């Protein structure tokens, strides 16, 4: 399934990104969920990391930046949808998560067909 080099790259990136998620998880558990959401949504840690990885050429960085911008807009739309469902619908959390994932899948499908 994996070649040795691919497995090494996967494990390295898994550990780095897992570390970032781990920090966010600790902040949610022991500190302020609002602050954690703000930092996780606004800090470009993941983007910077991917930008460094993609710099085999300037064009790949441009493509990554463009698609990240579009993805950021999709992120804002589906988090807004989740916010309104959580605040006003009274639906159980598993149903809200399912609805948000379905809306996200449709948005990604639509965006990928437009790009």
pLDDT band at 2 (very low <50, low <70, confident <90, very high): low
- The tens digit of pLDDT for each residue in 58-114 reads 677 788 888 888 888 888 898 899 999 999 998 999 999 999 999 989 988 888 887
Answer yes or no: are the C-beta atoms of 39 and 72 closer than 8 Å. Answer: no
| Cα–Cα distance for residue pair 34/52, rounded to 1 Å | 29
CA angle 25, 69, 97 (to 5 degrees): 45
CA angle 115, 67, 26 (to 5 degrees): 140
Beta strands in the chain (DSSP E): none
Determine if residue 90 is left, alpha or beta; phi over 0 gives left, psi from -120 to 50 gives alpha, anything else beta: left
Higher pLDDT residue, 67 or 43? 67
**Cα–Cα nearest to 43, from 58, 63, 21, 12:** 21
Q: Which two tokens stand for residue 93?
A: 């959390």
Task: With a cut of 80, say whether residue 56 has pLDDT above it.
Answer: no
Higher pLDDT residue, 71 or 24? 71
């Amino acid at each position: 399934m994996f070649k040795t080099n691919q497995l090494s790259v996967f494990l390295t990136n898994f550990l780095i990104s897992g570390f970032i998620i781990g920090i966010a998880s600790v902040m949610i558990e022991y500190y302020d969920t609002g602050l954690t959401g703000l930092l996780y949504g606004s800090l470009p840690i993941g983007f910077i990391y991917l930008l460094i990885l993609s710099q085999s050429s300037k064009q790949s960085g441009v493509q990554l930046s463009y698609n990240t911008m579009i993805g950021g807009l999709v992120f804002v739309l589906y988090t807004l949808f989740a916010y309104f469902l959580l605040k006003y619908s009274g639906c159980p959390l598993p149903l809200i998560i399912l609805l948000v994932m379905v809306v996200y899948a449709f948005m990604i499908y639509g965006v990928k067909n437009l790009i």
